[in-house]
A and B are shown apart, each in its own frame.
Chain A
Amino acid sequence: MEKFIQHTGVAAPLLRINVDTDAIIPSREMKRVSKQGLGEGLFAGWRYGSQGSRDPNPDFVLNKPDYAGASIILSGDNFGCGSSREHAVWALKEYGIRAIIAPSFGAIFANNCIRNGLLPIILPDEIVKSLAAEVEKDPQTNKVHIDLEKKQVIAPGGAVYAFDIEDGPRDMLLQGLDVIGLTLRHKAEIDAFQAKDRAARPWIYLEG
């Protein structure tokens, strides 16, 4: 998995609450049994003209030349709520997004981000809005810097905002760990648990 240690990039404000995963990647854009080929469908309902067309909607933030190459999204409460589709994260990554800064996230979505090297950063609404205000003045110059080791977001003007993230997810991102491999180090404990559990709850174990 791709590591996340530090990142500096153009930040695009999408200051809406409850941006759901259907909006991030509409179901109709999930065309193949694949984690690839989703970047084009990112925010399709908002990013393109009418249904099905690929004419860019000039009003949508990611289509504005000022935000070309955006790699950070600034958004409102409950970003990534709704469907569990991991395609939302795969689409964001393929588009080039590395981090999302919002006051809160849908729980499944936040987990999916961590598993794919995308950093969900929780900061209060006022701070997200003030970051957006700074960025908007000159998006290509006023970049946002993120330091996961120090757990800080540094605004274009130099203001430093500390954010919280649990140690587990942070380590996974910093080291780009394969979580399955990591958990399999506990295989002996899992085997012992299962043996004991099989005796206590035999009805759980169906015949193989």
Chain B
Amino acid sequence: MAQTLFQKLWDTHLVTTLEDGADLIYIDRVFLHERTGSIALKSLEAEGRAIRNPELVFCTMDHIVDTFPGRTDETLMPSGKEFIQSTRASAHEAGITLFDLGDSRQGIVHVVSPEQGIALPGATIVCPDSHTCTQGALGALAWGIGSTEAEHAMVTGTLRVNRPKTMRVVFNGALAPGVTAKDMILHLIGKHTAAGASGYAVEFAGEAVRALAQEARFTLCNMAVEFSAFLGLVAVDEKTLDYVKGRPFAPKGMHWDEAVAVWRTLQSDEGALFDKEIVIECADIKPTITWGTSPQHAVAIDGVVPDPASAKDENQRTAMERALAYMDLKPGQALTDLKVDAAFIGSCTNSRLSDLRQAAALLKGRHVADGVKAICVPGSTQVKLAAEAEGLDKVFREAGFEWRESGCSMCFFAGGEHMGFRSRVISTTNRNFESRQGPETRTHLASPLVVVASAIAGKIADPRDLM
């Protein structure tokens, strides 16, 4: 019978079905970071439990570390040092691989994992971090869990999971110039709501997804969780294989050939049935931006702030009214009239080399508007080094951007650095929740191209006007 990609991957990892109906799923890789992994490791230590396969567990420092050049264990976030040092001590004790500060493999977990060849096609990979779904772009089952579940995965090598339903989102046609994977996912969530994929494993498919470069597919899958999906997936093709080949932890020699023979079968079969299907015409997608405090508050950049009166029910209307007040906006206002205080390029959504190249290409020879604080934080130390080798850091610096060390940085506010109380930030990140980026910060999510165009204009701007 024709199978979906999800089903194939699930079946490969099914140890047994438990008495209560949940499936016991074999976990190939666990990734931790100092924010939520520290507590899982500490708790294992306290309970005297051993990790089943420490060589399959990895950890990085990304969430709390500062991103200033010359950083140390000290952080702007109060008590950040405790998280860093506790993680370091526990990781050594547990015998897992740690990408510490100063290690050239350090970076944001979801950037580093594929980059190092730790996430692989066909693998299961979990991390106590909701954006683990990013890594599904390699044709892997990758999902976020809590700390207690991370302990379970490390000790037992498995997780108990109720099998989700399956959804396919088909992106037909081609993207117009200036439109990116970020716009695809914002458009999708804007149309089908932030709860649209609740209970589903989502496969992104269609011509436009096949046409995306591997790094852009990570951007697409990154926000699957903002669509409430259990995980996001993209089928394996030659681009996937090219991406994985030669990475430090990827299979080599004979194992590579064996792996590739299996990986080439990792697509949904012709005629496979999904529980739900959504079709998006890419001709309808423009550069897209959020106006409110949920990723579903997304509109085309040439659009206006919507009127809560247009909401489809009372709950949505109240949420929109709250969002308007928080964001200091009025219905009918053009997005492109909004002045921005800051611009941020970074996060596991849009901080890979291809993102920085796109941004730099638009930025070259131009300058950030007066009064706009602009910061670029590469997704990993490897990305940073590669970008510097191409001279991208110079382009950013000359245009008035700060150029930082890698980390999550101002994707989220932990009590440390932020862009200023109530500042309006145009940002390549993935969450625009209240105070997510800083105290009462007003975040507008967008692609790197929109962020660059807006930083230059000093107000939200359409990158297509510069192209």
Q: What residues make up the interface of A, taking CB atoms closer than 8 Å to B?
A: 15-18, 20, 22-23, 26-28, 30-35, 45, 51-52, 76-78, 81-86, 89, 104, 106-108, 111-112, 115-116, 125, 166-168, 171, 179-180, 183-184, 186-187, 189-190, 193-194, 197, 201-208
Contacts and interface: CB of A to CB of B under 8 A. Distances in A.
Given A33-B39, A84-B129, A183-B158, A197 B79 contact: no
Nearest to A52: B439
A204 B30 CA distance: 12
Nearest to B83: A33
Given A179-B152, A179-B160, A204-B120, A33 B294 contact: no
Contacts of B199: 107
A28 B22 CA distance: 35
A106 B77 CA distance: 27
Query: Interface extent on B, as a size class?
Result: 35 or more
A51 B421 contact: yes
A16 B435 contact: no
Contacts of A125: 315
B433 interface: yes
B156 A184 contact: yes
Interface of B: 15-16, 18, 20-22, 24, 26, 28, 35-36, 38-39, 42-43, 49, 53-56, 77-79, 82-83, 86-87, 120, 122-123, 128-130, 144-149, 151-152, 155-158, 160, 162, 194-195, 198-199, 228, 230, 249, 251, 255-256, 258-259, 262, 294, 315-316, 318-319, 322, 412-415, 421, 431, 433-436, 439-440
A62 B35 CA distance: 28
Contacts of A34: 39
A68 B157 CA distance: 43
A204 B28 contact: yes
B148 A115 contact: yes
Given A179-B152, A202-B255, A107 B319 contact: no
Contact of B56 (A26, A51, A206): A206
A115 B146 contact: yes
Contacts of B258: 202-203
Contacts of A180: 49, 151-152, 155-156
Given A18-B194, A34-B39, A202-B255, A190 B431 contact: no
Nearest to A20: B433
Given A32-B79, A168-B22, A204-B28, A81 B194 contact: yes
B195 to A, nearest CB: 5
A9 to B, nearest CB: 24
